[in-house]
Amino acid sequence: MKQVLLGAAAALISAGVAMAQTVAVTNARIVTNEDAGVIESGVIVIEDGAISAMGADAAVPEGAEVLDAEGQWVTPGVFAPFGHVGMVEIGATEGSNDISADESELNISLNALDSYNPKATSIPITRIEGVTHAAISPGTGRTLFGGVGAIVDMSGDFDSRVKENAFLYLQMGERGAGLAGGSRSASWAYLRAALKEAQRANRFFSKPTDEGLLNIHDAQALKTAVNGDMPFVIEVDRASDIMRVIALKEDHKKLDVIILSGAESWMVAEELAEAEIPVILDPMENLPFALESVGARLDAAKLLADAGVQFALTTGAGNDDTHQVRLLLQQAGNAVANGLSWDAAFAAITREPADIYGLGGRLGALATGQTANLVVWDGDPLEVTTSPMAVFIDGERLPLTSRQTVLRDRYMDLENQDEPFAYR
């Protein structure tokens, strides 16, 4: 009898857990990013981490937790296509900044996941603005190669990895020239020589002479990209440099290339479209920060779209891609203000990054059967006054709190607090 009662209790507990995992978002304007388009008034049912039903006539399961969207927007979670979020706490403090390794003998084989801290304060700050996923990368150190990037979620869990060995990052253009010895010719010579060494790399490979560029670990990491098993993310801005990247892909047919930054990419948009090379663009680059970007313009995203170039939007270089990833929605909104359609702009921060990194069908869209990574907003997500009402990652509703919101609430009302003044 005791075993029967224990079994019944266990069943009730199990049923309670299952019930808690069922959420129905009702009265929602659903942006699917799929062929279904926008469902003006519908229901999304989340069960066991996945979307079990979605549509205007979707039924709310008995006992489900109901979240009334009040006619507001529900969209896929935002995907930041490049940055260093979670890899640095304070940029100016060496001990908490794991982006670059200037003194390391290894470069290409450095892995972003080894530096990623899901408990960094920037993670919840990023998440509460509707960003659910991000591509993270080491920065460049002694050479033009940064290292191996990854795709992570913003859940804050230690198991935040979505895709490891997602891409290999390298820097060309002006900065690449400086890292390679002082000129673009030096950087391209270095890259070509490194590619040749990687092509013949095997487990017995080592530097053939003192003049060899790569050690065995870097050579084998680079070989993965040379074989087309991992894309190159190449940061470059000047149109002529972008044309050199296109030529590089023509010479190495297996290379999977992604342009990062691309201030002057609009000048060679037709060539990029023909070469099927996507661009990760900062849509707010309109003033030249260097001679290589004098052609930057605010309508670059629209020009890429008009030419049929696949592109995603990013928040830019420097510390912005670490602590200000949350501004990605504002970047997309400004792209709309400069001629890009709303649909294209929103896709460029959700579906397109997922497709570029080979995660289409898993991220960036809403469909029955997919893992529930979505955001409920209190208005148009590309409007600066809009905020998330709820964020779901892998079907789990996560808190909309951060260190900043906790400090705000603590000091909002000093007169009506229970703690003594010294503890406030």
DSSP string, 169-223: EEE-HHHHHHHHTSSHHHHHHHHHHHHHHHHT--TT---SSTT----HHHHHHHH
Q: How far apart are CA 232 and CA 252, in angstroms?
A: 12
Could you list the beta-strand ranges (E) of 81-177. Answer: 131-136, 145-153, 161-171
Q: What is the pairing mode between strands 65-68 and 23-31? A: parallel
CA atoms within 13 A on the CB side of 144: 32
pLDDT of residue 105: 84
CA atoms within 13 A on the CB side of 223: 15
Cα first-last separation, the chain: 54
Domain edges within the chain: 2-76+386-407, 78-363
pLDDT of residue 312: 98
pLDDT of residue 186: 96
Q: Which two tokens stand for residue 178?
A: 């400086």
Give me the numbers of helices (H) and strands (E) for the chain, helices first please.
13, 16
Q: How far apart are CA 233 and CA 176, in angstroms?
A: 13
In DSSP notation, 36-82 reads T-EEEEEEEEEETTEEEEEETTPPPPTTPEEEE-TT-EEEEPEEE-S
Q: Is 147 exposed, middle or buried (0-12, 13-18, 19+ CB in 10 A)?
A: buried
Q: Does domain 78-363 have CATH number 3.90.180.10?
A: no
Check residue 106 and report its DSSP letter: -
CA atoms within 13 A on the CB side of 57: 0
- C-alpha gyration radius of the chain: 24
Q: Which two tokens stand for residue 350?
A: 């959700």
- Would you tell me the crossing angle of helices 184-199 and 216-226 to the nearest 10 degrees? 90
pLDDT of residue 326: 87
Cβ neighbors of 375 (< 8 A, separation 6 or more) are: 74, 75, 76, 77, 78, 130, 132, 381, 388, 390, 391, 392
Per-residue pLDDT of the chain (424 residues; tens, 9 = 90+): 334 333 433 443 334 433 347 999 999 999 999 999 999 999 999 999 999 999 999 999 999 999 999 999 999 999 999 999 999 888 777 777 888 888 888 889 999 999 999 999 999 999 999 999 999 999 988 899 999 999 999 999 999 999 999 999 999 999 999 999 999 999 999 999 999 999 887 655 555 444 578 888 899 999 999 999 999 999 999 999 999 999 999 999 999 999 999 999 999 999 999 999 999 999 988 877 788 989 999 999 999 999 999 999 999 755 456 778 889 999 999 999 999 999 999 999 999 999 999 999 999 999 999 999 999 999 999 999 999 999 999 999 999 999 889 888 888 877 777 766 665 5
Note whether 385 and 394 are within 8 A (CB): no
Q: How far apart are CA 72 and CA 44, in angstroms?
A: 13
Q: How far apart are CA 203 and CA 221, in angstroms?
A: 11
Q: Is 302 exposed, middle or buried (0-12, 13-18, 19+ CB in 10 A)?
A: buried
pLDDT of residue 30: 97
**Could you give the 3-state DSSP secondary structure of residue 51?**
strand
- Alpha-helix residue ranges (DSSP H) falling in 227-308: 239-251, 269-275, 300-307
- CATH homologous superfamily of 2-76+386-407 equals Urease, subunit C, domain 1 (2.30.40.10)
Query: Dihedral of CA 329/335/336/338: which sign?
Result: positive
Residue with tokens 């309109």: 286
Query: Dihedral of CA 136/313/342/326: which sign?
Result: positive
pLDDT of residue 5: 36
pLDDT of residue 121: 93
- What count of residues does the chain have? 424
Integer angstrom CA distances of residue 393 from 73, 117, 132: 17, 17, 7
Residue with tokens 């229901």: 43
Closest C-alpha among 45, 40, 33, 34 to residue 73: 40
